Amino acid sequence: APLRALAPSITAADLPLSFWRDGALTLQAMGEWMTLTAESGHEHRHVSFLRRQLRASERIRTLPWRHLPLRTLDERVVGREISFFREWIARPDPEDPYWTARRHGERVAAFDGPVQISTRWHDLFLAGALDDYQRLVAAGRSPRLRIGPGGHGDFRSAIGELRDDLAFLEHVLRDAPHPWPTRVRVYITGAKRWRDLPAWPPSSLRERWRLATDGQLLPGDTGPAPRGAVGQFRYDPLDPTPSVGGAQILSAPVADNRALEARDDVLVYTTPALERDLELIGPVTLRLGVATTAARAQLFVRVCEVDGRGRSRNVCDGVTTFRGDASAQPVTITLGPLGHRFRAGRRLRLQVSGGAFPRLARNPGRDVALDIATERELVAADYTLTATETTPCALELPVFDEP
């Protein structure tokens, strides 16, 4: 029988590419994936999925993340070579012939039947799922999109996804009414409610907040824009900036970031207490001027919400890898996307650092063209964020424009 509908959930057509984020290897997710794959082997077929996941979670806590070269990490983790791991970590370029021969995004766009894509705000495959959605829209299709709360391994979110997927199939196959009034439904964290939208991303007002030298994040229309250095830090891969939360396969995605933000290698910029609720839906953009001693430079940035007790919980993040220069150069980083309501009285916080280990592999710092799979030498680097007249250091937020 012909295929009549698709309802992919927490996945992406070009799934392996999700393990690379703009030149940064998602090392912890790769280790989790490798461990789960090993636990799902023939010799473990009698073990329940939940038991395998629990056992994998226990093993992941003790994995030798600092092992070099990364290419042989598989031998330390599962005791043997894992061919897909070695292939994937050696190919950071999405245009590598290895990847282009294994892409399926165009096949998704060619499907002319009904499609409903389900993903989650902290799923490792969120960006890939949204790429699939945009491909379908560009091809003239009318896909449905559901973005729910949680991370990849969140079973509570899976219940709602399954319910909506079954309702979608009932709608397609039996002409039952679809439960959504529009084609896009997203969960707004912080508000604990769903929003029905006509499209993704929705229309928004781009609100700019400037990074100040005293660690404040100020509205773009208040006072003269700062010029010169607004912050500096040193990234040392031998004492790497640790990861806290974020998109993984098994680990909890949201955590308190206060201990991380107290480190000398993490810059923090915080708004005053918000006078009104601030609802953001869509991608966030950070524009910086960056001078660095690193030949291969990398920045990890994150948006958090700070509550009345000072707890700082991550909402979304992003990373970029670029050729470093001792003179300030413009760098643009895309974070998220997100769907979150910052409540009045709370504060929005921006973090800037040189990494998030072991979630992301350590940046060797030496050469943009080096192969991090075989690299053994790691070099510390200094970073300075600099605002100029043409490149203000600013965070651009997608403020939801409610009809």
| 228-258: pLDDT as tens digits | 899 999 999 999 999 999 998 888 899 999 9
Spatial separation of the C-alpha atoms in residues 258 and 368, rounded to whole Å: 32
147 plus 193 within the same structural domain: yes
Flag whether pLDDT at 44 surpasses 60: no
- The answer to whether residues 231 and 301 belong to one domain is yes
For residue 3, is it within any domain?
Answer: no
pLDDT for 225:
67
Residue 8, domain member (yes or no): no
Position 5 in a domain: no
Query: Given a cut of 70, is residue 144 above it in pLDDT?
Result: yes
pLDDT in tens, 7-42: 999 999 998 888 999 999 999 999 888 888 776 654
Q: What is the pTM of this model?
A: 0.94
Please check whether residues 119 and 159 belong to one and the same domain.
yes
294, 159: one domain: no
Last residue of a domain, one of 197, 213, 239: 197
320 plus 172 within the same structural domain: no
Domain with 371, as residue range(s), is: 204-400
> 8 vs 108, 119, 176, 339, 364, CA distance in Å?
10, 9, 20, 21, 36
- Asked whether residue 2 is assigned to any structural domain, the reply reads no
Distances from the Cα of 193 to the Cαs of 73, 147, 275, 289, in angstroms? 42, 12, 21, 37
Identify the domain boundary among 176, 197, 218.
197
Return the number of other C-beta atoms located less than 10 Å from residue 296's C-beta.
Answer: 22
Exposure string of 30-55, with b = 16+ CB inside 10 Å and e = fewer, is bbbbbbbebbeeeeeeeeeeeebbee
In a domain, 7, yes or no: no
Same-domain check for residues 90 and 110: yes
Strand 228-235 versus strand 381-387 pairing type: antiparallel
Q: Are residues 138 and 258 located together in one domain of the fold?
A: no
Residue 138 and residue 109 in contact, taking contact as beta carbons nearer than 8 Å: yes
The reply to whether 230 falls in a domain is yes
What is the mean predicted confidence (pLDDT) over 338-345? Answer: 98
Among the listed ranges 327-331, 385-389, 399-403, which one has the minimum average pLDDT value?
399-403
- 113 lies in the same domain as 215: no
pLDDT bucket at 43, cuts 50 / 70 / 90: very low
**Res. 52 pLDDT band, cuts 50 70 90:** low
CA pair distance 147, 302, nearest whole angstrom: 20
The kind and range of the H/E element at 165 are helix 155-174
Kindly state whether residues 209 and 341 are assigned to the same domain. Answer: yes
Residue 46 lies in a domain: yes
Indicate the residue among 173, 197, 221 that finishes a domain.
Answer: 197
Structural domain count, the chain: 2
**Are residues 102 and 221 both part of a single domain?**
no
Res. 221 pLDDT band, cuts 50 70 90: low
Q: Mean pLDDT in the chain?
A: 92
CATH code of residue 256 = 2.60.120.260
- 1 inside domain: no
31/131: higher pLDDT: 131
At residue 358, the pLDDT reads 95
Encoding tokens for residue 369? 């063209």
Contact 287, 352 (CB under 8 A): no
Q: Are residues 148 and 272 in the same domain?
A: no
Same domain, 173 and 266: no
